[in-house]
A and B are shown apart, each in its own frame.
Chain A
Amino acid sequence: DAKTTQPPSMDCAEGRAANLPCNHSTISGNEYVYWYRQIHSQGPQYIIHGLKNNETNEMASLIITEDRKSSTLILPHATLRDTAVYYCIVRVGSSNTGKLIFGQGTTLQVKP
Chain B
Amino acid sequence: DGGITQSPKYLFRKEGQNVTLSCEQNLNHDAMYWYRQDPGQGLRLIYYSQIVNDFQKGDIAEGYSVSREKKESFPLTVTSAQKNPTAFYLCASSDWYSGNTIYFGEGSWLTVV
Q: Which residues of A line the B interface, CB within 8 A? A: 32, 34, 41-46, 49, 87, 93-104
Contact = CB atoms under 8 A, between A and B. Distances in A.
Contact of B101 (A46, A87, A101): A46
B41 to A, nearest CB: 8
Given A34-B101, A49-B99, A103-B42, A96 B30 contact: yes
Contacts of A98: 31, 33, 35, 45, 48, 58, 92, 94, 102
A94 B100 contact: yes
Interface residues of B, number: 28
A104 to B, nearest CB: 7
Interface of B: 4, 6, 30-31, 33, 35, 42-43, 45, 48, 50, 56, 58, 88, 90, 92, 94, 96, 99-107, 109
B35 to A, nearest CB: 8
